[in-house]
C-alpha cells in the first residue's frame, strides 16, 4: 500500500507537471502574442506568482501572494501598476483612482505595464489627466470580495476620487460551481471544515489527496449548472446589483465617483480562432452551463438594473470583441494585452468624459 502510494504520487506529480507545461506552451502559441518564447516565460512566471489556493486573508477569504519577477510584481497583495514617474513623485496628483475586480483586471495574461489599469493610466496621462492608479484586483474575486476589499481601504481613510469595478464573470462562475449565488469560489470546501464537521473533513481531505484514491476514482466529473440557469442567474445578478447599489450609496456619502463594467466573455466573440473555439469547449466541459448562466445575467441586466437602482450605471462590455477576428483570448476566460488595450480605451474615454481638462 505504502509503496503503491509513493509510486503513484510520483507518477501524478510528473503527469500534472507535464499537463501544466503543455498548457503553458498552448497559451504562448495561441496567436495572441507576437513573441511565443517571451509569452512562455511569462506564463511560467504566472504559475509561480498566482498559485491556487491563494494565502488566507480575513474577511475576503484570500489575498494575492507577494511576488517579484520579470513580468509580474505584487507587493503587499497589490499588483504593480504603471504610473508616470512625475505622478509617483507628486503626492498631490489630481486624481486617485482605484480598480477592483478579478483575474482579468488583475492581468492574468499580461505584463505589469499592460494590465487594464496600467493602460488606462497611460491613456489618461496622454490626454492631460494627472492620476495615481492602483490595481486592487485579486484573482478569482467575486464582486462581494471586491466590495469588502474596498470597504477595508475606506476604513483606513484611503478614499479615492474615482473607483472602477470590473467583473461579473467570476460571479457567474462561482454561482455555477458552488451551486448558489453570492459566495466566493471554494466556499463549499470551507463549509466542510466548520467546527461540527472538522474531524470528518480532515479525514475526507486526507483520503482525497491520496494518489491511490485518485487512481481508483479518476477525475471528478463537473456537475455544472445547466438545470438551475434561471434561478442562479437571477440570484447572481441580485447580488451583483446589490453590491453596485451599496457602492453607489457610499459614494454619495464620501463624495467619490464610480464606474461599473460587466466584462466580456469568449462566447460573445463572433469570429473566434480555432484555438479560441477549443478553449471555449474546454471551459464548458470543465463547468457545463457557465457560459449560458453569464449570458442570462447579461440579458437580464438592463431591466433588473433599473428596478434595483432606478437608473442604468453598469457599462456592458460583452460586445467589445464581438467583431474582432484576430486572436484575443489566451484561454476560456482571459485575454492578452491586445484585449486589455481595447477595454482600457473604453474605460479611459469614460474617465475623460468625467474629468476632461479645461481648454
Question: CA–CA separation, 323 vs 346, rounded Å?
Answer: 16
Average pLDDT over residues 273-300: 95
Q: Are 306 and 319 in contact (CB under 8 A)?
A: no
How many helices (H) and strands (E) the chain has is answered by: 14, 8
pLDDT digits (tens, 9 = 90+) for 199-243: 454 444 445 556 555 565 666 666 899 999 999 999 999 999 999
Question: CA–CA separation, 142 vs 100, rounded Å?
Answer: 10
Q: Is the pLDDT of residue 326 over 60?
A: yes
Question: CA–CA separation, 328 vs 129, rounded Å?
Answer: 29
Range in 59-73, 135-149, 220-234, 310-324 the model is least confident about: 220-234
Instruction: Tell me the pLDDT of the chain averaged across its residues.
Output: 88
Range in 4-18, 288-302, 323-337 the model is least confident about: 4-18
pLDDT for the residue numbered 189:
63
Higher pLDDT, residue 342 or 15:
342
pLDDT for the residue numbered 52:
76
Q: Where are the domains of the chain?
A: 2-186+225-354
Higher pLDDT, residue 51 or 213:
51
What CATH number matches the domain at 2-186+225-354, 3.30.830.10, 3.40.50.1110, 3.90.420.10, 3.30.230.70?
Answer: 3.40.50.1110
Per-residue burial over 127-161, b if 16 or more Cβ lie within 10 Å, else e, is eebbbbbbbbbbbbbbbbbbbbbbeebbeeeeebb
Q: Is the pLDDT of residue 359 over 50?
A: no
- DSSP 8-state assignment for residue 294: H
- Percentage of the residues of the chain whose pLDDT score is greater than 70: 84
pLDDT digits (tens, 9 = 90+) for 14-43: 776 787 788 889 999 999 999 999 999 999
pLDDT for the residue numbered 202:
45
pLDDT for the residue numbered 279:
96
Could you give the strand order of the β-sheet that contains 78-79, starting from the edge strand earlier in sequence?
Answer: 67-68, 73-75, 78-79, 131-135, 95-101, 162-167, 257-262, 314-316
Question: CA–CA separation, 172 vs 170, rounded Å?
Answer: 5
- Percentage of the residues of the chain whose pLDDT score is greater than 90: 71
Q: Are 185 and 142 in contact (CB under 8 A)?
A: yes
164 membership: H or E segment, kind and range: strand 162-167
pLDDT band at 191 (very low <50, low <70, confident <90, very high): low
* Confidence (pTM): 0.90
pLDDT digits (tens, 9 = 90+) for 129-173: 989 999 999 999 999 999 999 999 999 999 999 999 999 999 999
List Cα–Cα distances, 59 to 67, 184, 196, 241, in angstroms: 22, 11, 21, 20
Q: Is the pLDDT of residue 182 over 50?
A: yes
Range in 47-61, 79-93, 135-149 the model is least confident about: 79-93
Amino acid at each position: 500500500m505504502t509503496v503503491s502510494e509513493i509510486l503513484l504520487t510520483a507518477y501524478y506529480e510528473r503527469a500534472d507537471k507535464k499537463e501544466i507545461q503543455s498548457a503553458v506552451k498552448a497559451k504562448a502559441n495561441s496567436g495572441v502574442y507576437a513573441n511565443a518564447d517571451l509569452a512562455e516565460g511569462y506564463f511560467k512566471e504566472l504559475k509561480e506568482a498566482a498559485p491556487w489556493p491563494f494565502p488566507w486573508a480575513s474577511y475576503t477569504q484570500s489575498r494575492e501572494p507577494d511576488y517579484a519577477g520579470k513580468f509580474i510584481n505584487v507587493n503587499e497583495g497589490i499588483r504593480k501598476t504603471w504610473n508616470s514617474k512625475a505622478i509617483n513623485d507628486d503626492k498631490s496628483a489630481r486624481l486617485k483612482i482605484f480598480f477592483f475586480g478579478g483575474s482579468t483586471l488583475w492581468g492574468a495574461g499580461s505584463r505589469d505595464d499592460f494590465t487594464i489599469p496600467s493602460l488606462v493610466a497611460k491613456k489618461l496621462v496622454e490626454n492631460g489627466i494627472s492620476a495615481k492608479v492602483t490595481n486592487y484586483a485579486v484573482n478569482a474575486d467575486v464582486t462581494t470580495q471586491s466590495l469588502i476589499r474596498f470597504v477595508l481601504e475606506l476604513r483606513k481613510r484611503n478614499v479615492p476620487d474615482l473607483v472602477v469595478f470590473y467583473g461579473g464573470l467570476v460571479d457567474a462562475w462561482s454561482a455555477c460551481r458552488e451551486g448558489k449565488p453570492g459566495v466566493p469560489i471554494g466556499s463549499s470546501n470551507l463549509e466542510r471544515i466548520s467546527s461540527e464537521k472538522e474531524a470528518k473533513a480532515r479525514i475526507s481531505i486526507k483520503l482525497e489527496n491520496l494518489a491511490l484514491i485518485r487512481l481508483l476514482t479518476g477525475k471528478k466529473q463537473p456537475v455544472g449548472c445547466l438545470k438551475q440557469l434561471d434561478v442562479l442567474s437571477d440570484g447572481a445578478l441580485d447580488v451583483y446589483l446589490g453590491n453596485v447599489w451599496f457602492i453607489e450609496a457610499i459614494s454619495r456619502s464620501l463624495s467619490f465617483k464610480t464606474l461599473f463594467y460587466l466584462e466580456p466573455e469568449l462566447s460573445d466573440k463572433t469570429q473566434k480562432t480555432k484555438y479560441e473555439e477549443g478553449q471555449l469547449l474546454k471551459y464548458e466541459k470543465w463547468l457545463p452551463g457557465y457560459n449560458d448562466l453569464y449570458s442570462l445575467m447579461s440579458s437580464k441586466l438592463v431591466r433588473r438594473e433599473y428596478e434595483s437602482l432606478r437608473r442604468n450605471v453598469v457599462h456592458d462590455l460583452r460586445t467589445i470583441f464581438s467583431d474582432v477576428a484576430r486572436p484575443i483570448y489566451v484561454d476560456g476566460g482571459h485575454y492578452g494585452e491586445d484585449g486589455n488595450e481595447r477595454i482600457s480605451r473604453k474605460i479611459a474615454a469614460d474617465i475623460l468624459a468625467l474629468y476632461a481638462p479645461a481648454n
